[in-house]
Structures are given as structure tokens and as C-alpha cells.
Chain A
């Protein structure tokens, strides 16, 4: 039997952490892009686009991420598309992230006073021009703290991808535990890795929020 020292456990978890980071980044970047498209649809003047966007949001906010991962993994292979655990997890997390980010950002867009829309409309701007030049630049400022805050949820959400066999920190922990019989040590270290990834983001989010409040008081 192979003996697992602390160092072996840490090294293997650290290697697996690369995949947690990669999956988080993919979900956040792609989810942000899709979320932005959904935000535009959600705030557009077309009733159909608005409906489609809110259906998407309700669907992905109203079902567990775990189900979404299962459906993405097994569902895609059901229709003949062979998926790796990586791509299934990336797809599910992207869609899940997009729904939440679109909703967070919609709140920020709606927080911009109606007078800004009136003024830019009266200057003959189109809806897209109003969004691009007037509304989004202002919404972005208030969106940063909750967006960074949500990134923490995404990182923690990647742990669920272990269930479809994607080897990130959580899955690696289970595997190492099975081999080493040291569950407390292994999961404790895994938790520390998550903390090390999330804590800076939470602190950054809180810091940005404080700075924003100060800016508002001026």
C-alpha cells in the first residue's frame, strides 16, 4: 500500500485545484458573456426576447445546479453528443452563472434613474446606444461588488462538478481519502484551498462596496 504523507495530499490537491480554477474561470467568463446577452434581451423592447430571457433565468435559478450538471452530462450524450465531464460541467456552470449574473446586472441597470433614459432618448440615441454609452457605464460601477461576490458562489459551485466525475478539488479529495483513509486531513485541506480562493474575492467585494458607498456620500 502506498503511504500518503501530508505533503502528498497537499501536492495532489494543489494539482486538482488548477481544475477548480480553470472551471471557475470558464464558467465566469463564458457565463458573463452569455449573461450580458441575456441582460440585453431582458431589458429589450421586444416582448419575445424579454420572455425568453426571463424563462432562461427562472429555469436556471429555479432548479438545483446539481440537476443541471446531471442533465448536461447525461442529456447531451442522450442526443448523441459525447461529452467529457469537463465540457458538461463547463456548459452547466456557464448557463447557471449566466442566469444569476443577468439578474444581478438587471438590478443594476434598473437602478439607473429613468431621467438618464429620457435624456439619451431625447438626443436621438437608439436603445443599444443608450445602453452602451449611458446606462451600462453607470451600471457597471454599482455592479462590481455584487459581481465579484457572486464569483465566490461560482468557485464553490464547481465542487458539485465532482458528482459527474470531473476531477477538481472535491473529487480529488474523495479519491485521496479513499486511498489514504485520512478524511479529516484531506477534506480539511480541501476546505483551506477553497478558502484561499474565495476569501480574497469576498474581501475585495467588501472593499469595493465600502469604496462605492463613500463615493455615494460625497
Chain B
């Protein structure tokens, strides 16, 4: 059974229809990359799956539960699906460790010592065990993004949505983040990532989806998508990439 199933999803912002009937399914443990031009609807799709945007038509089913509009549903959904953003949205008034501890303590009512141990373990997982007491402004962009990943993981989600998590980083900081994601994929985490890192998508992902004009234009295993694109749009998209 799919962990995430999207069916006929439509979303419009005013007069512009950003998603025009997107259907997609993710099996547990699957790593899926979404590629495509800016404005193709990739980020909107991710935001809709996490309930940060409401959808106009279609449905999202997470782990067997259909996503409704109620806040309680949304929060239950977000316990299962974590998200990491392009812009390093760490809480600037809290240390790295506190960033990771906050939600387990506030949402899941985890006692502080346990939450602290959890935060240490999660920071260790992203290679930042020594940065527990550092504030976000004292960390590099890559370190901040790794803390954001640790923060999402601390909620023990079944799947992680990554929205262009390396796009805002300096080139030399991209790899350290991708190393963490690669490790997560190897551990069996279900990942849905919007990315411009084509080599990464080719090496790590089980499946690649090319979105174009608000629809799933072409999808398949990385080999097929990158080496043997069927549509002119995908060929052109891959062609213009360095």
C-alpha cells in the first residue's frame, strides 16, 4: 500500500491554476525526486501534501487516512510527514538543540530529559553533535539545514518532504546536506524531494517525476528519465541544464 497517495490534485491561486490534476503515489521507503522548471508547481505540490496550502480538488491520503480540512487532521498528518524548507527556517531565538527539542516537548509532551537525549541523537545523526548549544546565526547555511533535518526527524515522521533544501546554500555547502539525505535514504526513510541536483536524483532516487505546467509530465526510474526522455519538454529541460 502507498504511504502517500495523491489523486487528481488541483490548486489555483486566484486566476492561475498551479496544479492541474496531479496524481502520484509513494510506497514506504521509496525515494522520489521531483524535477522541473520554476513555476511548474513542484513546491506547491509539497506544500499541499503537508497541508500548508489547501487543495481545491482531489485528495491526499497519508498512511490510509484521507486528509481533511480540520486542524486536528492536519496536525495528525504532520506527525507522520515532516518537511524541510528551502529557506533555512530555524527558530533564531533558540539554540540548535532547543530547535530540535521544541516540538517533541510541546506537541508530544516528551519530558525534557528525554527530549534532550532525542535532540542529541538527531544532531549526531546529521553530524552536528557538538553544535547543540549554538544559535542558528552561529552556524553555516549547510549546518543550519542539517539542524532543520534533525528537527524534522525528531518528530519520528514516516516520510520527509524536502523542498529544494540545497537551493539556498553556497555551492560548497550542498554536499554535506546531500550526504545526510543519502544516509536517510539508505536507512529506508520515505523521501519526496523537489530538487535541482540532477546527479543526486540520478544516484539516490528510485523514481524521478518531471513536472511541467502543473501536471506530472513524465515519470519513471532515473535511468529512463535522464537517459531516455520521451517528451520534448523533458529533453529541453535536461538539455538546458549544465
Contacts and interface: CB of A to CB of B under 8 A. Distances in A.
B78 A115 contact: no
A122 B79 CA distance: 8
A133 interface: yes
Contact of A123 (B47, B51, B78, B137): B78
Among A116, A124, A137, max chain B CB count under 10 A is at: A124
Contacts of B89: 113, 115-116, 118-119
B52 A118 contact: yes
B91 A129 contact: no
Most buried by A among B83, B85, B106, B148: B106
A37 interface: no
B107 interface: yes
Given A116-B89, A138-B92, A122 B50 contact: yes
A148 B152 CA distance: 38
B84 to A, nearest CB: 8
Interface residues of A, number: 20
Contact of A122 (B52, B92, B102): B52
B201 interface: no
B93 interface: yes
B79 A121 contact: no
A123 B103 contact: yes
B202 interface: no
A116 B106 CA distance: 16
B103 A126 contact: no
- The residue among B47, B75, B103, B151 with the most chain A CB atoms within 10 A of its own CB is B103
Interface of A: 113, 115-116, 118-127, 129, 133-134, 137-138, 141, 218
Given A122-B52, A125-B107, 15 more contacts: A116-B89, A119-B85, A119-B91, A119-B148, A123-B82, A123-B155, A124-B76, A124-B78, A124-B107, A125-B103, A126-B71, A134-B102, A138-B92, A138-B93, A218-B137
20 contacts: A113-B87, A113-B89, A116-B91, A119-B85, A119-B91, A121-B51, A122-B50, A122-B82, A123-B107, A123-B151, A124-B76, A125-B107, A126-B71, A127-B71, A129-B106, A134-B102, A138-B91, A138-B92, A138-B93, A218-B137
